[in-house]
A and B are shown apart, each in its own frame.
Chain A
Amino acid sequence: MTGTLLRIEGLTKAYPGVVANDDVSFDIAEKEIHALLGENGAGKSTLVKMIYGLVKPDSGTMTWRAEPFTPADPRAARAAGVGMVFQHFSLFNALNVAENVALGMENPPPMRDLAARIRDVSETYGLPLDPFRTVGDLSAGERQRVEIIRCLLQDPKLLIMDEPTSVLTPQEVEILFETLRKLRAEGTSILYISHKLEEIRALCDAATILRLGKNVGTCVPSDTTARDMAEMMVGGTLQTPTRTARDDGDVVLDVTGLSLKPANPFGTTLKNLHFTVRAGEILGLGGVAGNGQDELLAALSGEALTEKNAIKVRGESIGHLGPNARRARGILAAPEERLGHAAAPDMDLSENALLTGAIRKSLTSRGFVNWPAARDFADEIISAFDVRTPGHHVAARALSGGNLQKFVIGREILQDPDVLVVNQPTWGVDASAAADIRQALLDLAARGTAILCISQDLDELMEISDRFGALNEGRLSDIRPVSELSIEEVGLMMGGAHGMEVAHIHEEEQEAGA
């Protein structure tokens, strides 16, 4: 390693009510893969947005190869040699791959030349892509390739990757790491943002750990245990959820031959799904984003209607029933998107309690709303699930991600479901709230509820589920007991490498790079 590529000194950025970054300093060396580690809300995103010119720091300096670095906007950052792969892709569904790439470049060549270069680069780095395909039709892994290639064509000195593996199978993660190592060998530094400790230990040369906006330490990941890093990240020890042994219950949810066309043009078709969930059991369904998770939740919650006999609860066919009829029969759901789907952002918590609780909590009579009862229900959720909020009169939008998620999951759990379907129950939630939610799900199962947990977080699924299956392009893999599974098998169930290949480095390039 040769000198410092980017030096960050005393960066501070405050938003009303929260200091996102507080006096953060660290160096990224040339040819280094530098991890930025931290929980959700630790300030990682704000920090990289400052480097990428999307946000201006309140104070502090950045130095790029000994020159002051103050990018006015993303274009300036790109011109200096910063490339960024976003966590929530900054892609345009209706445009094709080449157009998407062109939008991220300052002076794109004519489309035909660009397409050729995309083919070129994508093959060199083992990320095959057809430049003329519409991005909306691509899988999550393929979309990430578009973003990476968009950056690589700019020849970046620093590549920022925000949680890149959250949309990949274990096999795809390995291939991505090969690509990143090759980039490092060619002289690119990488700022790698993640909260997955094992990945960081496997890949990164140095790590900076953020907690509540502050730099709480740096380390060499390969010399540090995952546990030590976790404690720095969380600032204390975490309780791992406890589970009690359970007996096999009766089959409560029986899904047979469930097929569904998606509501939106870029959705996934569900193809002939079969599975059962027993009372007291947690069935975990993994899979990379966009492989039918949202559609499955919609089919089970009743937002999308299916063939009558495709879904049965305790032997009764409910595929043709809407959400309220299903709630009456004890099947409840909590969707992934908190704001706008599971909860109405501008409505207060008592109104949001009414949103799904009207039927089972008898919050209405002859259509008239019993507001005191709705407020009591909201208060009950708030106290039972330790939702940090001034009260039930607060708008859902004003809650932090973790608190709102506790409210949403708590709202369903307190309605005493026979079947609970959750999608990404701890997505974007801080570690302590995530632990609370997982424990609550385990407790609910222990009381005899059949739980279907759809998640992209494999660690979570391995931790709480009894059996595991994976969604891949709208199909469901075999379902296997978790205790018998290895991570390689899980990866294969999720669809293996989805057509990715290991970066192949031409001999002459390797010599030139060496």
Chain B
Amino acid sequence: MIRLERRPQPSRLWSYLTPVIAVIVTMIAGGLLFAALGKNPVEAIRTIFWNPLFGEFAFYYRPQLLVKAAPLVLIAIGLSLGFRAGIWNIGAEGQYIVGALCGAGVGLAFHPTESVLIFPLMVIAGGLGGWAWAMIPGLLKVRFGTNEILVSLMLVYVAEQLLASMALGLMKNPEGHGFPGSRNLSDYASATSWIDQDIGLHWGMAAAFIAVILAYVLLNRHILGFNIRLSGEAPRAAKFSGVAPARLILFCLGTSGALAGLAGMFEVAGPSGQVSIDFNVGYGFTAIIVAFLGRLHPVGILLAGLLMALTYIGGEMAQSNLGLPAAAIQVFQGMLLFFLLALDVLTHFRIRLSARRTA
């Protein structure tokens, strides 16, 4: 008989080990899945995890890794703060879209003026846009006790419609010959988030690194970070300690919204370039996996973001080289979260095989 026995305190060792084991188990299960789809599992895994880093065309793919990881890390850092406090913002995708729309809106409004002030203004607008979108579930939760999970998620669908409306209407490129989508911001020197497009460096990456460092300091050195952790682990104790739950909710949702908004803004002004109907590709949802895979720890999230970016790039390679369906990568990412959650039990519990001695 298998029994779970609570550890006197969470195991540090296992909390580091579980993400690694989860990745390995996912590779095995993923290999089986690819085999079931009629692909060579070893080759598929190699294509996804090895070739982008060390393969023939690695020089092209390596910078891509940062391009994909930046938004994931930026969003996941924000989400992790709330997740630690038991505040579930799962509408980052919506905040990402609205941040992009606000940032792009500012940029497009100034077109074709050139000024060093335009990009900073776009950054502010992007952050504010995401922040405002996340404040909707925040204020509703604080004021009416509304469930933030459902509201933030509903707002993703609203944001997607808003995006469609903008791409087809207000922000449509007047010189676009009637095609949907805005002007290309990456061609607009004052508005682009590229630092150097040739080596694939943009400001979103810098922002992601800064977010990682600030989040680390916040969680480990600052009383606000302590309060966030406390609220997640023991809400009543947090209230007793003097944490005002309403302020914490607004802080966590606001911060995660602002970071998601920034991610969207850097994306629309750089790698994506324009406001288009299919601008959002699910970073807001994948970031949830990144946050958990990184154990809600800033450094962990950085590593997890890079890994997840790898599966995106490797997945695209496998798609073109091996004909592996795009959805297979989505399944792969979902499995990763499953295994992680399942293995996490080992951090808090010991597994005992008990032979029942009968009298």
What 0/1 readout, one digit per residue, does chain B (1-36) give for beta carbons within 8 Å of chain A?
000010011100000000000000000000000000
Q: Confirm or deny: A327 has a beta carbon within 8 angstroms of a beta carbon on chain B.
A: yes
CA–CA, A398 and B8, complex, Å: 5
Q: CB < 8 Å: which of B9, B221, B223, B238 contacts A397?
A: B9
Of B130-138, B177-185, B228-236, the segment with at least 4 beta carbons within 8 Å of chain A is B228-236
Q: How far is the CB of A319 from chain B (nearest CB, A)?
A: 16
| Residue in chain A with minimal CB distance to B230 | A344
Identify the stretch in B108-116, B196-204, B239-247 within 8 Å (CB) of chain A at 4 or more residues. B239-247
Cβ B9 vs Cβ A398 within 8 A: yes
Q: How many residues of B are in contact with the other chain, CB < 8 A?
A: 25
Contact A367 B223 (CB under 8 A): yes
A45-91, CB < 8 A from B: 56-61, 70
A494 to chain B, nearest CB (A): 27
Name the B residues within 8 Å of A70 (CB-CB).
358-359
Residues in chain B near residue A346, CB distance under 8 A? 9-10, 233-234
Is the Cβ of B9 less than 8 Å from the Cβ of A327?
no
Confirm or deny: B46 has a beta carbon within 8 angstroms of a beta carbon on chain A. no
Q: Check if A369 sits within 8 Å of B222, measured CB to CB.
A: yes
A59 touches B357 (CB 8 A): yes
- Selected contact of A323 from candidates B9, B224, B242, CB within 8 Å: B242
Using a CB-CB cutoff of 8 Å, which residues 145-184 of chain A contact chain B? none
**CA A322 to CA B247, docked complex, whole Å:** 13
Q: A346-B9, A346-B10, A395-B8 given as contacts; is B226 within 8 A of A341 (CB)?
A: no
**How many angstroms between the C-alpha atoms of A444 and B233 in the bound complex?**
32
- Cα of A348 to Cα of B226 in the assembled complex, Å: 12
Task: Indicate if the CB atoms of A340 and B236 lie closer than 8 Å.
Answer: yes
Nearest CB in chain A: distance from B181 CB, A: 45
Q: Tell yes or no: A98 within 8 A of B by CB.
A: no
Q: Would you list which residues of chain B between 307 and 359 have a CB under 8 Å from chain A? A: 356-359
Q: Which residues of B contact A303 (CB under 8 A)?
A: 239-240
- CB neighbours (8 Å) of A437 from chain B are none
Kindly specify which of A232-240, A350-358, A495-503 makes contact with the partner chain.
A350-358
Cα–Cα, bound, A113→B8 (Å): 48
Q: Is the CB of B241 within 8 A of A355?
A: yes
| B233, A345: Cβ atoms closer than 8 Å | yes
User: Could you tell me if B230 and A355 are in contact, using CB atoms closer than 8 angstroms?
Assistant: yes
- A497 vs B230: C-alpha distance in the bound complex, in angstroms? 42
CB pair A302 B242 closer than 8 Å: yes
Q: Return chain B residues, CB-CB under 8 Å to A368.
A: 221-223
Q: Scoring A residues 385 to 412 as 1 if CB is less than 8 Å from chain B, else 0, what string do you get? A: 0000000001101100000000000000
Chain A proximity mask over B211-230: 1 for CB below 8 Å, otherwise 0: 00000000001111010011
Query: For window 230-287 of chain B, which residues contact chain A by CB distance below 8 Å?
Result: 230, 233-234, 236-242, 244
- Chain B residues, CB < 8 A from A218: none
Q: Could you say which residues of chain A place their CB within 8 Å of the CB of B356?
A: 56
Tell me the bound Cα distance from A303 to B239 in angstroms: 6
Q: With A and B bound together, what is the CA distance between A407 and B226 in angstroms?
A: 20
Inside 8 A of A61's CB, which chain B residues have their CB?
359
Other-chain contact of A364, B223, B234, B237 (Cβ < 8 Å) = B223
Q: How many residues of A contact B (CB 8 A)?
A: 41
With both beta carbons as reference points, the residue of chain A lying nearest to B357 in the complex is identified as: A58
Q: Confirm or deny: A226 has a beta carbon within 8 angstroms of a beta carbon on chain B.
A: no
Is A131 located at the chain interface by the 8 A CB criterion? no
> What residue in chain A is nearest B241 (Cβ atoms)?
A355
* Contact B242 A337, beta carbon cutoff 8 Å: no
Assess whether A446 is interfacial by the CB under 8 Å rule: no
Bound Cα distance from A384 to B229, whole angstroms: 28
B241 and A397 form a contact (CB under 8 A) = no
Nearest CB of chain B from residue A197's CB, rounded to whole Å: 33
Q: Quick one: which of B5, B10, B237 contacts A344, CB cutoff 8 A?
A: B237
Are the CB atoms of B9 and A340 closer together than 8 Å? no
Alpha-carbon distance A56/B355, docked complex (angstroms): 12
Determine whether the beta carbon of B221 is less than 8 Å from that of A369. Answer: yes
What is the chain B residue whose CB lies nearest that of A355?
A: B241
Docked CA distance A298–B265 (Å): 45
Question: B222 to chain A: which residues have CB within 8 Å?
Answer: 367-369
A56, A301, A345, A355: most-surrounded residue (chain B CB, <10 A): A355
Question: How many angstroms between the C-alpha atoms of A369 and B357 in the bound complex?
Answer: 51
A342 in the interface, Cβ–Cβ < 8 Å?
Answer: yes
Contacting pair A59 B223 (CB below 8 A): no
Measured CA separation A61–B359 after assembly (Å):
6
- In the assembled complex, the CB of A84 is this many whole angstroms from the nearest CB of chain B, namely 21
Whether A335 sits at the interface, judged by CB under 8 Å, is: yes
Can you list, as one digit per residue, whether each of A286-304 has a CB less than 8 Å from chain B (1) or not (0)? 0000000000000001110
Q: Is the CB of A356 within 8 A of B9?
A: no
CB distance from A125 to the nearest CB of B (A): 36
**Could you tell me the distance between the alpha carbons of A107 and B226 in the complex, rounded to whole angstroms?**
52
**How far apart are the CA atoms of A438 and B156 in the complex, in Å?**
57
Q: How far is the CA of A327 from the CA of B9 in the complex (A)?
A: 30
A352 and chain B: residue at smallest CB distance: B237
A371 to B221, CA, bound (A): 8
- CB pair A344–B242 under 8 Å, yes or no, is no
B242 touches A341 (CB 8 A): no
Are A344's CB and B234's CB within 8 A? yes
Q: Are A367 and B239 in contact (CB under 8 A)?
A: no
Closest chain-A Cβ to B213's Cβ sits at a distance in Å of: 15
Minimum-distance CB pairs A-B, first 9 = A395-B9, A323-B242, A324-B242, A398-B8, A344-B234, A341-B236, A344-B237, A355-B241, A364-B223
Residue positions of A touching B, CB distance < 8 A: 16, 56-61, 70, 301-303, 322-324, 327, 333, 335, 337, 340-348, 351, 354-356, 358, 364, 367-369, 371, 394-395, 397-398
- Contacts A346-B234, A356-B240 aside, 15 further interface pairs with beta carbons under 8 A come to A322-B244, A323-B242, A343-B237, A345-B234, A355-B241, A358-B223, A358-B241, A364-B223, A368-B221, A368-B222, A369-B223, A394-B8, A395-B8, A395-B9, A397-B8
30 chain-A/chain-B pairs, Cβ below 8 angstroms: A16-B5, A56-B356, A58-B357, A59-B357, A60-B359, A61-B359, A70-B358, A70-B359, A322-B244, A324-B242, A327-B242, A335-B240, A341-B234, A341-B236, A341-B240, A343-B234, A344-B238, A346-B234, A347-B229, A347-B233, A355-B237, A356-B241, A367-B222, A368-B221, A369-B226, A371-B221, A395-B8, A395-B10, A397-B9, A398-B9
- Interface residues of B, Cβ cutoff 8 Å to A: 5, 8-10, 221-224, 226, 229-230, 233-234, 236-242, 244, 356-359
